Structure 1
């Protein structure tokens, strides 16, 4: 198995999305329509990707990504490229038991006609020698973001998506991606399904990959539907307890989760001892920029349950809805906080 981090201790990364430039899309908005068209849009997306990469590099982020600059949404942009899904025929569904959204309909067998993100991944690979991470939606979260009028079974549809994701993941690996991450916020909601077939579908999606694989399980973007839901979860958020035992036994290399400013009891990390853990040390649900010491404090707590060589400081979730200056500040804080802990660990080991 390749190591994605060139032996950097506590390699930093983001969960996925970063804000887009105002000339490309409406700021601080999910599903924001593009402001450019045709060839200008293609150029604009590549320029935005370059800028996003540069901002990560300037902030000292170790494992870089495309910042999801070329996609409107972390799930539907992937689904748009598949056959069997009708985007004109929309239905309103309840997403993650939390909010209603108008979504496309599965009208026939789903398949991948051509690669979805592979060209963008090749482009990112050309821009940097750093390890790169690429995010894909997970099978269960894809199922939860559609109206299924064909398979009439969440599980059957998830297995089909897992096969499609595996095809895409293999080509992303061939394009030079070091870590492929599957976003599964649905794992925090549908606990029976997670254990019955969700983790099995995820393992089908990573079948045969030699690069590192990650699953990102969060409490969602800092949008009102999610922040309102969090207020109902009480003083301890123990959702991870449901999926962690089976994930610990799975072939997934890295588990990415939300920690900072959340009510997730840190000792739940003991349940995934032995896995690499991307510890969310940056809150994406507010505009306050963490101090390096706040980040360091979250990492110190995590180090009680995660070995230092397996701890990857990260953000809680994507930062697409945040102002760019705030996201930039948070990235710098993440790097600075990780650096504090690296120095402390160096003193302890000397």
Structure 2
């Protein structure tokens, strides 16, 4: 036989049931018992779907109320001291209250307690909660959630395969706090507790455990490679088989380390790195299982089953039943079920597969490799072949006029007329902004009224004229509130926008949209990425009418708000028949047209958000420059077609971009706004060590926390920023858009922010 398994399944539910339950719990609409029951219901449903698809093992431990890395921190007792009571004792069982405080922050009698830092999970749009380690860090099993879930799956009559982030990757992804020390110094104590946990898991009758070590696809030095050998030599004595799971790239120079570790199995990602199959098989020890990730866990396209069957049959003949089949990575990054998308045309539907369908593909391929020639398996493979043939010949995908425009791009399209030091003089004359100008990132609360109007419009209960009138009323309200707060640069609030990528994709050719294709971004935040189906073109202006209307309501400057080409690409499901660069260039040209139309409409500040530019960076440094070259080029094509007096902003959030600061400078945006509040302005170290030439707005409060930042808190952060950035180049703003907050907390937070900016403005001008 050939084992079929998955590395993880989406936890949110077909209808985002987890999101709705967690947010109801936060609002006090569900009690803890009800929330726990909803989670159990979802887990059991997801396991059942995977078993019905034909998987031999179901993953357990992929469920999380907020984030799987946060789950592990609670399991291991890695709780920052600021969240603990006076006794500073780690509880024997970390409960939901403490768990959510770590994720979202808290306020106690001492004041605001900052949430744990959040950043991108490798090169995905998923955000994890960063573990915080101290030099004297202790570890102890402090949560039984994983063990209870294993029991649940077994009681359901299923074979559970627990999933845990491995010890080296856990250390790598965490941050040393309080002093500068080597995180690997914590490894011995960490492995001791991992060993205890694996014994408890084995005592529940578990055969296999999956330890995810995705950092084995990164550049590692010898000390970290030695850390792997130390850790897994100790863990081999635990009475459970270990499947070491790697993904998001090739093992490369870590192949020897991974292949020789004393684990019973190894998983490799053949979607991202198909070229590594031969070298891995050639060096695979005779006792070791090889799990091949051939179904793409990060995209929505159907798998070419015949192609993989032909490629894997020689491997099957060579290693026999030691061959397992799975997805490239966890299906966390995939929408749940294609069967909910009845609106798709029949030809397009057959090109797609969501998580439920991907599990079926895994099972079909495993059975075919095992020699199953039944009608069901044969028909599934033939259907896959037919779908690929039709897609390759479809007229939906290619547009020769768009391709010709890409070919005609020249170097002048990515150069501003004058350098920044000359532009800034002209922009200051035009805009007449004060020292420490205040602004927001773009979006304002998506209220119940806004969502109800959008839902009614989609259902045909509001005419287009009625819907547009309602959105204009919401825009007018947002502008009025900003004027009352006395912000310096206003935005229209984005009431008419559903999502910062989906909104634009809906107005561009070449995109396909699901109705229920949600994936988790962080916590209870879900996004519905568009699908890039073919060549991309702007049919008409996308934002001009809304922003021009908003500008008529105020004499203050108003920012036009666009999503940048790299982020549009990274936060969509991309094509697999062309390079990412090609799609990004097409997006850049579409946005260039929009930027120029905004300028013609009298908008002299235009923000082109690129929060995903760091996320799109390849995991191996040797591949960075090629990506950065075309990513920067695409941004500049989009932004450089304007006059010198037009000020271009960009925004980046939740990215460790210190190591690409030169590329960020190369964007030549007049102003960048960045997330720095959760990291306590640590990200500004990059601007201290690198003489960034343009203007910067470091986020002075965390919009993802329900806490209202005090004026003292904001002042402290701004003064830290002022120590590293010249005052003339410093802007004051939140760290991200305010879409997910309500108006009460938004206005209180912004009022505090504006008050601090005015106070510091007076202090600095008087000194």
Same fold by TM-score greater than 0.5: yes
2:631 equivalent to 1:198: yes
CA distance in 2, matches of 1:90, 1:272: 45
In the alignment, which residue of structure 1 is the partner of 2:735?
316
The alpha carbon displacement at 1:262 in A equals 2.4
Q: Is the 8 A contact 1:295 1:338 kept in 2?
A: no
Answer whether contact 2:681 2:717 (CA < 8 A) is retained. Answer: no
Partner residue in 2 for 1:290: 709
1:126 maps to which residue?
A: 552
Query: What is the CA distance between 1:245 and its match in structure 2?
Result: 1.4
Residues 78-157 of structure 1: pairs in structure 2 closer than 5 A: 78-88=504-514, 102-149=528-575, 152-157=578-583
CA contact (8 A) 1:20 1:324 kept: no
**Distance change >3 Å, CA 344–CA 167, structure 1 → 2:** same
CA distance in 1, matches of 2:531, 2:738: 28
Distance 1:88 1:191, change over 3 A: closer
The equivalent of 1:208 in structure 2 is 641
What secondary structure, in the 3-state scheme, does the structure 2 residue paired with 1:180 have? strand
Q: Determine if the alignment matches structure 1 residue 331 to structure 2 residue 757.
A: no
Question: In structure 2, which of residues 590, 603, 607 is the aligned counterpart of residue 177 of structure 1?
Answer: 603
In structure 2, distance between residues paired with 1:326 and 1:289: 6
Alpha-carbon deviations, 1:169-206, whole Å to 9, x = none? 01011112121111112123223465232122111111
State whether structure 2 residue 635 is matched by structure 1 residue 218. no
Match for residue 268 of structure 1? 686
Summarize the alignment of residues 234-253 of structure 1 with structure 2, pairs less than 5 Å apart: 239-253=656-670
Structure 1 window deviating more from structure 2 (124-133 vs 42-51): it is 124-133
Aligned counterparts of 1:101 and 1:62: Cα–Cα separation in 2: 31
User: Does residue 72 of the first structure (1) align with residue 72 of the second (2)?
Assistant: no
Structure ranking higher in strand proportion: 1
* Counterpart contact for 2:505–2:530, Cα < 8 Å: no
- 3-state SS, counterpart of residue 297 of structure 1: helix
Gaps of 5+ in 2: 1-422, 619-623
Runs (5+) with no aligned partner, structure 1: 27-31, 220-236
Alignment counterpart, residue 60 of structure 1, candidates 440, 462, 486: 486
Larger Rg: 2
Contact 1:141 1:184 in 2 (8 A): yes
Q: In structure 2, how many angstroms separate the alpha carbons of the residues matched to 1:243 and 1:148?
A: 24
C-alpha distance in 2 between matches for 1:49 and 1:119: 12
State which of 612, 615, 618 in structure 2 corresponds to 1:189: 615
Instruction: State the TM-score, normalized to the length of structure 2.
Output: 0.40
1:5 CA displacement: 3.7
* 1:33-85: CA deviation from partner (whole Å, max 9, x where unpaired): 54453222101100000000111111111000011111111111011001121
1:303 to 703, 718, 722: 722
C-alpha change, 1:209 and 1:51, in structure 2 (3 Å) is: same
Q: Distance in 1 between matches of 2:671 and 2:653?
A: 14
Aligned in 2, Cα 1:334/1:5: closer, same or farther, shift over 3 Å?
Answer: farther
CA distance in 2, matches of 1:175, 1:7: 21
Q: CA–CA distance in 1 between the matches of 2:516 and 2:451?
A: 23
Structure number with greater CO (CA < 8 Å, separation at least 6) is: 1
How far is 1:292 from its partner? Answer: 1.9
Tell me the CA shift for residue 102 of structure 1. Answer: 4.6
SS class of match (1:312): coil
Paired residue total:
324
Aligned partners of 1:264, 1:183: CA distance in 2, in Å?
A: 20
Report the TM-score when normalising by structure 1: 0.85
CA drift of 1:331 comes to 1.1
Cα distance 1:54–1:294, how it changes in 2: closer, same or farther (>3 A)?
Answer: same
Do the aligned partners of residues 87 and 335 (structure 1) sit closer, same or farther apart at CA in structure 2, a change above 3 Å counting? same
Distance 1:16 1:40, change over 3 A: same
